[in-house]
Amino acid sequence: MITKWKVFNFKSIRKETELDFAPLTIFAGANSSGKSTFLQSILLMAQTLAHKVGSRSVVLNGAFARLGQFDDLRSVDSDASQIVIGWTVQPLRNFQGRRTLGIRRHPFYYGPGRYALSSVSCEIAFDTESSGAQKEITQIQPRLFSSQLSTLTRDPEEGDRRFFMTIRRATVTSDGEKQKWIDASDSDEPLSRTSLQYDIELDEDSLADIREDLVSAKPVGCLLKHFLPERLSLGVDMVAEDAQTILNVIAGESPRGIIPRRYYGDREIAVPATVVDFILNLAGNVSDDARRMLSERLQHGPNLFGPNVVSLEQLAEALHRLQPRFRREIRQRLAEAEELERLVNDAIREERKEEPAVMLFRPPRAIAEAAWYLEDFFSTAVRYLGPLRDEPKSLYPLSPTANPSEVGLKGEHTAAVLELHKSRSIRYISSSSFVEAEVKTKPVTRSLEAAVIDWLQYLGVADSVQSRDRGKFGHELKVTMSGHNQSHDLTHVGVGVSQVLPILVASLLAEPDTTLVFEQPELHLHPKVQTLLADFFLSMIVLGKQCIVETHSEYLINRLRFRTAAAGKENPWISALKVYFVERPPEGSTFREVRINEYGAVMDWPEGFFDQSQQEAEAILRAAAKKRKTQREK
């Protein structure tokens, strides 16, 4: 669930604006005030992380929104060159992982184990070339300026821990420390050189995670998937790494041969002669037979480096082939030898000077899991339904590229999705829970079709719905209206049915820890239906589904106020609801929180916030009084 969202220098939102989000977050305000702009920043991140071309930092024109080019998005007359968007999300606790078409993904986000995520925060800034050959390209494909990723993890043993990573476009590449690693990077490995375009910073715990494998590692760059870290570039001293690798292998801290191959490919390491002599002498202290067998195996092994030079793989193999009792004793003595580390380091330093190199490496585990969660959440768990629904049809064709679990931006795939999943068992809140003033929510399990019919009847737009697959012709939807026995397709009933059905199907089918974004869900609906639709949104948030709604409906708002006032002592709606009133003065869009207290009253009612009906009623009374007075005077 999204808990915070920040926007700066994005269309009408000129000033940095950070809002707290609740399970049900409402945006209201005049036309062109900036409500949709705020939602577009969410959709921009969702369509970026869902895009298959990971080299694009930000996807301006994608599945959810077509936003034009960078200059169309940057606030007019702004002095700032970057657009900034940031957010915090919290994985739903006690949820066993998201299922997409029956496949469970990444359950460790939600579990009780080590590094389970409490929250993930991210902030990105992006811009464009101001001049030059890349100017037109970066208008459509902006460049990432910076990306900050942090996460708070739950650790049963060590308590909550915070990890962070900052990625920033490098500005100095011609001299100094950065140039050292550019010179050291492999010219045959273009990815490592590309990664050096960014500078990165990690917290100490994340650095310690990396240095468990590479003792000399220093973060010098990053490969990105959009704006999230995919691989790190680490500057290392190969002399120090070889020394540590030798220590790990001969002391038995790693399986034989794994470390050299895992990090260095097929590269082999020569073991200094003084180190080999030390091991042979130690083996002789264990047993003359142990020394003899070890020496013979080293002499008959492959001479990769020429005569009298032992490779690390050859030494590891020789140690491994010793009799178990000899091997265990030698390993133990090597582990207890205090002088071994100094001996290895001094010996290898005598033969070789510092050898800087750049290596691609995994991100620290906590950072990697935070990045995976963001990609998973925004690409699969943000669902959007636009304000304009698909017009009613007798048959609905299904695009072969459509996601079989999504109704589409206009609800155009609702018939196909309902037909495909109508028998699927889902948990939902029955409409009967909302009959009384005080809501008693208790989830029930029924088929998707039964749940849709339940809420259609509660809203009063239809008595039943039937879907049917008509093969190559598409999918058919028919509804039965209250008081009628004959079913009709949607072209012969009120348009309200085609408006409501996509909302119901998309929401009921969504998994917990899904964020549903709706623009003007009340369009073409009777005021009574708008009122009852608020109850449906409340039923969704009880199930762990977040709803973000942009609306012009005072009926929907007033229903939420009523439910808040009617709730008992344990009022669940106070903390579950946030309402923002959006205005657009000359300096840009402003967002003012409208607080609703436990009695359903609006604290400090903003001017223009659904007060038109009251003003019109007062104007009618004044006009009627004036007319009566005029008539009496005649």
- Mean pLDDT for the stretch of residues 212-218: 89
First to last CA, the chain: 66
Exposure string of 253-265, with b = 16+ CB inside 10 Å and e = fewer, is: ebebeebbeebbe
> Can you say how many angstroms the Cα of residue 79 is from the centroid of all Cα atoms in its chain?
30
Tell me: the pLDDT tens digits for 555-571? 999 999 999 999 888 88
How far apart are the C-alpha atoms of 53 and 145, rounded to whole Å? 19
Nearest to 21 by CA among 578, 596, 580, 582: 578
Phi, psi angle pair for 257, to nearest 5°: 80, -10
Regarding predicted confidence, which is higher, 395 or 88? 88
Per the structure block, which two tokens stand in for 244? 């540590």
Q: What is the mean pLDDT of the chain?
A: 86
Q: Is the pLDDT of residue 408 over 80?
A: yes
Please count the residues of the chain. Answer: 634
pLDDT for the residue 460: 92
Lowest-confidence region among 76-90, 103-117, 489-503, 613-627: 103-117
**pLDDT tier at 283, thresholds 50, 70, 90:** confident
Q: Tokens 């925060």 appear where?
A: 121
pLDDT for the residue 286: 87
Q: Is the pLDDT of residue 629 over 70?
A: yes
- Mean pLDDT for the stretch of residues 484-488: 82
**pLDDT tier at 258, thresholds 50, 70, 90:** very low
Sheet order of strands, 577-583 included: 382-385, 515-519, 546-550, 24-29, 577-583, 590-596, 602-603
How far apart are the C-alpha atoms of 510 and 310, rounded to whole Å? 61
- Please give the helix or strand (H or E) that residue 302 lies within, else none: none
- Mean pLDDT for the stretch of residues 264-277: 77
Local structure of residue 116 (DSSP, 8 states): E
What does pTM read for this prediction?
Answer: 0.87
pLDDT for the residue 400: 66
- Amino acid identity, residue 594? V
Q: Is the pLDDT of residue 188 over 80?
A: no
- Mean pLDDT for the stretch of residues 125-151: 91
pLDDT > 70 fraction of the chain, expressed in percent and rounded: 88
SS (H, E, C) 132-184: CCCHHHHHHCCEEEEEEEEEEEECCCCCCEEEEEEEEECCCCCCHHHHHHHHH
Local structure of residue 419 (DSSP, 8 states): H
* Contact indicator for 22, 580 with CB cutoff of 8 Å: no
Return the CA Rg of the chain. 32
- Amino acid identity, residue 318? A
